Amino acid sequence: MKLLVVGGAGYIGSHTVRQLRAAGHGVVVLDNLSSGHAEALTNGVELVRADLLDYPSVKAALEAHKPDAVIHFAALIEVGESMRAPARYYRNNVVGSLNLLQAIVDTRKVPLVFSSTAAVYGTTDAVPIPEDAAMQPESVYGETKLMTERMIHAFHTAHGLPYTILRYFNVCGAAPAGDIGEAHPSQSHLIELACMTALGQREKMMIFGEDYDTPDGTCIRDYVHVQDLADAHVLAVEALNAGKTDAATYNVGLGHGFSVKQVLDAVDAVVGTPLDREIAPRRAGDPPRLVADATKIVQELGFAPQFTDLQEIVQTAWNWHKGHPHGFEK
Ligand SMILES: NC(=O)c1ccc[n+]([C@@H]2O[C@H](COP(=O)([O-])OP(=O)(O)OC[C@H]3O[C@@H](n4cnc5c(N)ncnc54)[C@H](O)[C@@H]3O)[C@@H](O)[C@H]2O)c1
């Protein structure tokens, strides 16, 4: 297949581009490089530098490259920032996605795979969380993802647009080769923060609450390795292309979680020295457990994550950060 990967120069997008190429697919990336990196695109993958907010450019890219399917990663992704700058998030994530949907139905009406998030569920008592759990996002970011899911569904109903929505839980790790990895302008992910701390770029690790009703008192999250997540996209787009699915939504996670302390212990073991830790009060809106019910993607798409060992996951992240302490900057 030939794929247009929108936001393909970002963290998850660049790993997916690599797995798509390894599976024998052709790839063109459309990205405005607002948080992505051209250097993350290896193997001579073509980059169209364009913004989703510029409808004519998006339509032109679809007309020029004639993809068989589109994978849509492009978004602003910081929960805290989304609360301070809601307009930016609604415009980029919702209006940008609307432009992409409109351009697809105005041109080739090819299937779409969309990056959604566990943040659409908000705080829920469900453990693990199934796809049909109530959706009550608690941030503007989560709201923009839910709005985009609803737009996609409406385009499916009105125009027959085939789609697969993937709701990721906590994405982590890096390509085992250590040459691409997470390089977000502002880090907010636990393993990434811990690696930065180990590199001396941050003073210490904060643990927000150790009095939760969990075995060690700290929050539990479901960590899915970025390469396994990339493979989930390959499975999703191939199933769409084969007509096996045309309107599906899947959680992507391991189906079990690790606590904050378990993650920090794994980082200490991989790095070889204990990081300074400080216990702070709980943060508002942090549920004790966020774990995916991943049964559906396992059964329907044959998702079979390879990275299930926490130390191995952390090792891939550490290899990347140690070799690239400033991300893709030299
Ligand atoms: N990282 C996570 O833990 C996580 C978890 C759940 C869901 N997601 C979703 O996965 C997707 C990818 O996340 P990521 O971590 O790779 O983020 P990222 O910031 O690394 O990648 C996003 C990419 O989209 C591009 N982009 C953003 N707005 C654009 C626009 N208007 N036009 C063109 N390109 C644009 C950026 O330049 C970047 O390359 C996002 O949609 C995010 O909501 C991420």
Residue 12 Cα to ligand 1 middle (Å): 7
The closest of 188, 181, 146, 187 to 167, measured between CA atoms, is: 146
Asked if 108 and 66 touch (Cβ cutoff 8 Å), the reply is yes
Q: Which of 49, 46, 34, 40 lies closest to 14 in space, CA to CA?
A: 40
- Taking residues 98-115, what's their average pLDDT? 97
pTM over 0.85: yes
Shortest-distance atom of ligand 1 to CA 119: 6
What type of residue sits at position 277?
R
CB 253 within 8 A of CB 129: no
pLDDT of residue 184: 83
Q: Does residue 115 line the site of ligand 1, with CB under 6 A?
A: yes
Output the CA angle 136-142-146, nearest 5 degrees.
70
State pLDDT tens for residues 277-299: 999 999 887 889 999 999 999 99
H-helix segments, the chain: 11-22, 55-65, 79-84, 86-89, 96-106, 140-159, 190-198, 226-241, 260-271, 295-301, 310-323
The total number of residues written for the chain in this structure = 330
The average confidence (pLDDT) of the chain is 96
Could you tell me the distance, in angstroms and rounded to a whole number, from the CA of residue 73 to the centre of ligand 1?
Answer: 5
Q: For residue 288, count other CB atoms closer than 10 A to its CB.
A: 18
pLDDT for the residue numbered 187: 76
Contact (Cβ atoms closer than 8 angstroms) between residue 235 and residue 303: yes
Residue 110: what pLDDT? 97
Task: Answer whether 75 contacts ligand 1 (Cβ < 6 A).
Answer: yes
Q: Which entry of 11, 89, 141, 223 is annotated as an active-site residue?
A: 141
Distance (Å, rounded) from C-alpha 75 to C-alpha 94? Answer: 9
pLDDT value, residue 329:
85
CA 51 to ligand 1: nearest atom: 32
Tell me what the mean pLDDT of segment 166-195 comes to: 93
How far apart CA 174 and CA 153 sit, in angstroms, is 32
Q: Which helix (H) or strand (E) holds 170?
A: strand 170-172
Overall average pLDDT of the 117-122 stretch? 94
Q: What is the pLDDT of residues 134-159, one digit of tens each?
A: 999 999 999 999 999 999 999 999 99
Structural domains in the chain?
2-171+223-252 (3.40.50.720), 174-222+255-323 (3.90.25.10)
* Ligand 1 contact via 188 beta carbon (within 6 Å): no
For 76-88, what is each residue's pLDDT tens digit?
999 989 999 999 9
pLDDT digits (tens, 9 = 90+) for 35-72: 999 999 987 899 999 999 999 999 999 999 999 999 99
**Catalytic residue check, 250:** no
